[in-house]
Amino acid sequence: MSADRTPDAARQRRHRHVRERQAVVFGVLLGGLAVAALGAAAVYTGSWTPPLLARGFSSPAPTGLAAANSPCPPEGATPVPYGQVTVNVLNSTSRVGLAGDTASALASRGFVVASQNNAAAMGYTGYDGTALIQFGTQGVAAAYTVAAQFDTPQLVLDTRADATVDVVVGKTYNALVAAADVVLVVDQPFAVPEGCIALDQVTAVPQPTPPPAPEETAPPAEG
């Protein structure tokens, strides 16, 4: 029997093959780690942007208390107890009964509903969003308390002197945010929405007023 066909020679060949495979595996692993380390260093230093990040990949933005361009809440302002907030609910859509349904939903949470009406009858135009929350400087905290009940509302500052809040429900409104999902904590300041404008930099719009009633035409005098 030749030396390369002995059992010892076969074992040596197997051991050599195992060592060769291990060397290849470890070499691939080490090479991969080296490439990953170089890539991480390049991303960290800003010299390379992975294709996924270059496409602007990001997670969805969280829903805030207010849409961009709304007045910011004053620093340190906290939620107002619902029973101390007076709202007027207005329907700017063609959906019959929407103001009443929304008013009932707000009242069931403890808000004081002063009135409910069609938006046009109170001087508002149609609104395409979810809800327009309009208020004066005395009602900022109250407005933010109301806004937390709606999904992505728009807050608008007007010239009214009291703390009442107008809620104009729009075309994309379906229902209030579930009570369990309302992002308000007693004695904890409001979160400042991204893109809001400092209150002292906002120019208040005129408070809407009902349009004048049409004048009645007097019947012609009899001749």
Beginning with the edge strand found earlier in the chain, give each strand of the sheet holding 112-118 in spatial order: 112-118, 86-91, 165-169, 131-135, 154-157
Decide if 47 contacts 136 (C-beta within 8 A): no
Q: In this predicted structure, what is the pLDDT of residue 44? A: 45
DSSP letter assigned to residue 35: H
Q: In this predicted structure, what is the pLDDT of residue 74? A: 92
Q: In this predicted structure, what is the pLDDT of residue 29? A: 57
Q: Specify the pairing of strand 131-135 against strand 165-169.
A: antiparallel
Q: Is 171 left (phi over 0), alpha (psi -120 to 50) or beta?
A: alpha
Q: In this predicted structure, what is the pLDDT of residue 61? A: 34
Query: How confident is the prediction along the chain (223 residues), in pLDDT tens digits per residue?
Result: 555 556 566 566 666 765 666 665 556 556 655 655 555 555 444 454 444 333 333 333 334 456 767 899 999 999 999 999 999 999 999 999 999 999 999 999 999 999 999 999 999 988 999 999 999 999 999 999 999 999 999 999 999 999 999 999 999 999 999 999 998 999 999 999 888 999 999 999 999 998 887 766 666 666 5
Q: Specify the pairing of strand 112-118 against strand 86-91.
A: parallel
The answer to whether the predicted template modeling score (pTM) of the entire model surpasses 0.75 is: no
Taking Cα atoms as reference points, which of 71, 83, 76 lies closest to residue 137?
71
Taking Cα atoms as reference points, which of 173, 174, 169, 175 lies closest to residue 117?
169
Q: In this predicted structure, what is the pLDDT of residue 194? A: 87
Q: In this predicted structure, what is the pLDDT of residue 6? A: 64
Domain residue ranges of the chain, discontinuous segments joined by +: 7-54, 82-201
